């Protein structure tokens, strides 16, 4: 029987770049998760009796919210809930399940690369029927509903056994606990040449994959070790843990430093990779060669035709605005359209649905294609493996050949984390005010050509998203971008994105910090980072 529980709005339920992310303690407050889930069900498009996908990255509090969501879904007229075994579904796997089973949407429970545990982070994101993150119009409607909500609906039913495959009835609704891995592995086999990769492994090609004690472990073990023949132990930290072993499941030089030590050590394997909490980000590092996410996008786009799923070529390439322009040069050479969107995977959904872009990527370690509507960590790893197997070269050689053909976009992102919000806001406000007077101004050897605040006009639905980051463009093609992160849970995070283009025939094999030194100085002079924040160095450089 449906029970109506009176409630009042909880403050701060505005979804950020990727859903609602808060501390676990916030989600544990009475009505907090329930209000948000009910608000989703109150506003999203769904026919009576439709299916909902529910799963998460296995972090602390995952199972509790899954049981809440199942009862609220049953009370709200869903016909079926599909949930991954153990409550586990990586973000790309959830996107696949939504599409494959024709669900009206899904709840993905994750705070991505943020740490997990009772005092750490949790999150809920709603994905729509195309498998992708809800677009802004939907997240705005959900937020508006959270501000007026006065009740949520539930049923009195026992917890569903999430560890046993099969069906359970919850009132009139069926809950199917499904194998989290098999549908996804099947999809990967349909896109990539597993025989070629297997032959490369048999020929001695080696790799190390760090699943960071997060959701990708079971997927990586099944695909890399069981299906592709990499030896046992190739996948490290392969068991998902509620607290990710106390680490940040963030695949970068700071948090995946053990993998970096391996890949830059004396007996480095040919290929190294890692993924994040919910499996949508990726890190690519060859033997003694780190590949920036922006370069990875460009290199994958230039070689994607070598994989069966992309043999017919690409329709177009899309990247987020702060991502380097390396992919643009590939698009130009291949005669493909290239799209520049705001940060957030949700902005790629329309382009993918309309068949305007095939491959998308972001500087924040995300790459993906039209096979799902999320970025996909293992997909990127498998495309790399496929390309290397066909070309029979290593990552370093591929990178060098790429730069020799297209030139090199030296790139880094500097993050200043947990800043007092008022100081970060003051920095951005002052920067925005100065924009109109910056053109022509010199900073060291650099001269500003244009400065603006990025605004995106979606070519498919005509919607506009403004205030998406400050762009400072210098004569010669270098660039600095400033924006505040939309995914943090503590204070504000200032992201400073630095990019310098070195053309074909130029200095293509130098150290990135050296090549960006002028830009780093200019960024501080332009935005007054030290003056506003009191910080003289970033917390994380990626």
Q: Which residues would be at the binding site for ligand G16 (CB under 6 A)?
A: 17-18, 112-113, 276, 280-281, 343-345, 362, 364, 366, 485-487, 495
Cα–Cα distance, 232 to 8 (Å, whole number): 52
Cα–Cα distance, 120 to 118 (Å, whole number): 6
The smaller minimum CB distance to ligand G16, of residues 71 and 319, is found at 319
Q: Give every strand in the sheet of 366-369, ordered side by side.
A: 338-341, 317-320, 359-362, 366-369
In whole angstroms, the minimum distance from the beta carbon of 192 to ligand G16 comes to 22
| Residue 6, SS3 per DSSP | strand
In whole angstroms, the minimum distance from the beta carbon of 325 to ligand G16 comes to 17
The smaller minimum CB distance to ligand G16, of residues 270 and 276, is found at 276
Give the chain's count of helices (H) and strands (E). Answer: 17, 27
- Give the number of other Cβ atoms within 10 Å of residue 471's Cβ: 19
In whole angstroms, the minimum distance from the beta carbon of 16 to ligand G16 comes to 7
Q: What angle do CA 330, 331, 335 make, to 5 degrees?
A: 120
Contact 470, 451 (CB under 8 A): yes
- Give the number of other Cβ atoms within 10 Å of residue 88's Cβ: 24
The smaller minimum CB distance to ligand G16, of residues 251 and 407, is found at 251
The smaller minimum CB distance to ligand G16, of residues 67 and 275, is found at 275
Report how far apart the first and last C-alpha atoms of the chain are (Å, whole number): 52
The smaller minimum CB distance to ligand G16, of residues 193 and 363, is found at 363
Contact 192, 309 (CB under 8 A): yes
Q: 442 pairs with which residues across the strands?
A: 447
The smaller minimum CB distance to ligand G16, of residues 58 and 344, is found at 344
In whole angstroms, the minimum distance from the beta carbon of 247 to ligand G16 comes to 16
Cα–Cα distance, 127 to 4 (Å, whole number): 25
The smaller minimum CB distance to ligand G16, of residues 113 and 373, is found at 113
Cα–Cα distance, 107 to 40 (Å, whole number): 9
In whole angstroms, the minimum distance from the beta carbon of 68 to ligand G16 comes to 22
Cα–Cα distance, 56 to 304 (Å, whole number): 30
Cα–Cα distance, 17 to 342 (Å, whole number): 10
In whole angstroms, the minimum distance from the beta carbon of 457 to ligand G16 comes to 19
Radius of gyration in angstroms for the set of CA atoms belonging to the chain, rounded to a whole number:
23
Closest-CA residue to 385 (of 238, 273, 506, 498): 273
Tokens 């024709």 found at:
102
Angstrom CA distances, 99 to 162, 326, 532, stand at: 22, 31, 46
The smaller minimum CB distance to ligand G16, of residues 276 and 524, is found at 276
In whole angstroms, the minimum distance from the beta carbon of 124 to ligand G16 comes to 12
The smaller minimum CB distance to ligand G16, of residues 18 and 350, is found at 18
In whole angstroms, the minimum distance from the beta carbon of 222 to ligand G16 comes to 22
According to DSSP, residue 225 is labeled I
User: Among 18, 90, 95, 112, which one carries the catalytic annotation?
Assistant: 112
| Residue 85, SS3 per DSSP | strand
CA atoms within 13 A on the CB side of 376: 30
The smaller minimum CB distance to ligand G16, of residues 79 and 486, is found at 486
According to DSSP, residue 246 is labeled G
Tokens 């509903």 found at:
145
In whole angstroms, the minimum distance from the beta carbon of 230 to ligand G16 comes to 25
Burial class of residue 296 in the structure, from the number of CB atoms within 10 Å of its CB (0-12 exposed, 13-18 middle, 19+ buried): buried
In whole angstroms, the minimum distance from the beta carbon of 323 to ligand G16 comes to 9
Q: 412 pairs with which residues across the strands?
A: 498
DSSP states of 262-302 as a string? Answer: HHTSTT--SEEEEE-TTS-BEEEEETTEEE-HHHHHHHHHH
112 is known as an active-site residue: yes
**Active-site residues: which are they?**
112
């Amino acid at each position: 029987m449906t029970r109506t529980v009176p409630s009042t709005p909880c403050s701060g339920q505005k979804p950020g770049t990727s859903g609602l992310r808060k501390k676990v303690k916030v989600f544990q407050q009475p009505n907090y998760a329930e209000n948000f889930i009910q608000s989703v069900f109150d506003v999203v498009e769904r026919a009576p009796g439709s299916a909902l996908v529910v799963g998460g990255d296995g972090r602390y509090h995952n199972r509790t919210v899954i049981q809440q969501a199942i009862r609220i879904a049953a009370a709200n007229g869903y016909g079926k809930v599909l949930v991954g075994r153990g409550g586990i579904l990586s973000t790309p796997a959830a996107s696949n399940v939504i599409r494959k089973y024709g669900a009206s949407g899904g709840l993905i429970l994750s705070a991505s690369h943020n740490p997990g545990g009772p005092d750490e982070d949790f999150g809920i994101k709603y994905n729509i029927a195309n498998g992708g993150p809800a677009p802004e119009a939907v997240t705005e409607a959900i937020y508006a509903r959270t501000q007026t909500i006065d009740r949520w609906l539930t049923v009195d039913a026992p917890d569903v056994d999430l560890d046993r495959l099969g069906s359970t009835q919850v009132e009139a609704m069926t809950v199917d606990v499904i194998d989290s891995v098999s549908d996804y592995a099947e999809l990967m086999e349909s896109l990539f040449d597993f025989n070629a990769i297997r032959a490369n492994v048999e020929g001695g090609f080696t790799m190390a994959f760090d699943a960071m004690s997060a959701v990708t472990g079971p997927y990586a073990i099944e695909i890399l070790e069981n299906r592709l023949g990499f030896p046992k132990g190739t996948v490290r930290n392969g068991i998902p843990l509620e607290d990710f072993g106390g680490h940040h499941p963030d695949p970068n030089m700071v948090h995946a430093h053990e993998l970096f030590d391996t890949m830059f050590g004396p007996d480095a394997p040919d290929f190294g990779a890692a993924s994040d909490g919910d499996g949508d980000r990726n890190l690519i590092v060859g033997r003694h060669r780190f590949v920036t996410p922006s370069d990875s996008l460009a290199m994958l786009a230039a070689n994607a035709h070598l994989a069966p799923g992309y043999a017919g070529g690409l329709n177009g390439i899309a990247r987020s605005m702060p991502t380097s322009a390396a992919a643009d040069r590939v698009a130009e050479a291949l005669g493909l359209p290239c799209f520049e969107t705001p940060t957030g995977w949700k902005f790629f959904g329309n382009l993918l649905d309309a068949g305007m872009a095939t491959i998308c990527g972001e500087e924040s370690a995300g790459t993906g294609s039209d096979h799902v509507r999320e970025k996909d960590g293992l997909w990127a790893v498998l495309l790399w493996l496929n390309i290397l197997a066909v070309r029979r070269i290593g990552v370093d050689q591929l990178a060098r050949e790429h730069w020799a053909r297209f030139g090199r976009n030296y790139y880094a992102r500097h993050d200043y984390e947990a800043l007092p919000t008022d100081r970060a806001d003051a920095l951005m406000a002052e920067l925005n005010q100065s924009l109109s007077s910056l053109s022509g101004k010199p900073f060291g050897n650099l001269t500003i050509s244009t400065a603006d605040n990025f605004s995106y006009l979606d070519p498919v639905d005509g919607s506009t998203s403004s205030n998406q980051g400050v762009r400072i463009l210098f004569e010669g093609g270098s660039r600095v971008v400033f924006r505040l992160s939309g995914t943090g849970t503590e204070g504000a995070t200032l992201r400073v994105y630095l990019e310098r283009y070195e053309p074909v025939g130029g200095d293509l094999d130098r150290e990135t910090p050296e090549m960006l030194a002028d830009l780093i100085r200019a960024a501080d002079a332009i935005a007054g980072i030290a003056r506003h924040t009191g910080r003289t160095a970033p917390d994380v450089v990626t």
